[in-house]
Structure 1
Amino acid sequence: MKLLIIESTANNELTIIITDDGCGIPADRLENITDPFVTTRTTRKVGLGLSLFKAAAEACGGYFEISSTLGVGTKVIGSFMRDHIDRVPLGNMADTVLTMVMSFGETDLIYQHDFNNQLFVFNTREIKDTLEVESLNEPAILNWIREFVSEGLEEIMEE
């Protein structure tokens, strides 16, 4: 899975792009995928994630797109006016990345954050290969990840 965040103060844009190489979404389901009452989950009858993401982007002068190919994967894009009064802050991305790492198990994550053309990259596959491990769910590794992401983001956002 890949999470790409692009921030441009000059263009007043914040774009979030999420891609995966999973099984994809059938075209007939993709047509109404942002309907909050459409979900493939069996534990509940509503799916709010994509519908809320779309609503947030559009409410902030942006747009939402989703594309998917069966057997190839899915791409979701949400773009926002960066300084829009209704745009919710990104929050603590170091903790978000940490939660994703802990939740994904063996699935790899690439997180890229571009702030005014300054790029920070975090890649779990590179870390696993360097440490010669298959899981990053050890307290010392998780603490290092939090610090690495936090420091990397601070570095690119210095102005």
Structure 2
Amino acid sequence: MKEIALYILDIAQNSITANASVLEVALSETAEAIAFVIADNGKGMSPQLLAQVSDPFTTTRTTRKMGLGIPLLRMAVEQTGGSLTIESTEGVGTTVTARFCAGHIDCPPVGDMAGTITLLLQGAPQLELHYTRTADENSFQLTTEEIRAQLGPEISLAEPEIILWLREYLQEQEMLLREHKGMKA
């Protein structure tokens, strides 16, 4: 994958598949590191599956015999000198923490986080999503609880107008963060 946003999308999709109703995504960026934490309240993994999750020939999917998301993420972070940790408890949920060394030539760009977040909400509008984006000392948050409180219960977050508004809002917030930091896309 060429963007960190795509790794986040893959891990978050795993959370949705694991029946998570709450998903927390935090992405932070400094001159030294780009890191993300994804925590869910899904079904979690057994200790046996957790021990094998980085093996590309281990998957819970029935449609194919390989699961490449975690192994590719591990390879990408380790290529930059970074780290990946996965904590999971059956019946409680899973937390994935990835840290890329930002100055390394192999560090991928953050990419389209607005697209990632809106795609998650469009595909799982019932999901309670908490998204925090930080660049140095500047940050913003988006929570679906706040959005639903403003919209009311009769409007779905998957409505095209809502998705377009959310995407524009997230793009604007990302642009403001980059302006404060002088970062590149």
The alpha carbon displacement at 1:156 in A equals: 2.0
Corresponding residue of 1:69: 89
Normalization by structure 1: what TM-score? 0.94
Residue 16 of structure 2 corresponds to residue 6 of structure 1:
no
CA-to-partner distance for each residue in 1:50-81, whole Å, 9 max, x for gaps? Answer: 11111100001100100011221100011011
- Partner SS for 2:164: helix
Question: Unaligned regions of 5+ residues in structure 2, if any?
Answer: 1-22, 181-185
* Higher fraction of helix: 2
Q: Write the distance in 1 (CA, Å) between the matches of 2:28 and 2:120.
A: 19
Q: Write the distance in 1 (CA, Å) between the matches of 2:115 and 2:157.
A: 15
Corresponding residue of 1:42: 62
1:7-156 matches, cutoff 5 A: 7-9=29-31, 12-133=32-153, 135-156=156-177
Normalization by structure 2: what TM-score? 0.81
- Partner SS for 2:128: coil
Which consecutive aligned stretches of 4+ in structure 1 deviate over 6 angstroms post-superposition?
none
> How many matched pairs?
157
Alpha carbons 2:123, 2:158 under 8 Å: kept: no
What is the identity percentage for the equivalent residue pairs of Structure 1 and Structure 2? 37
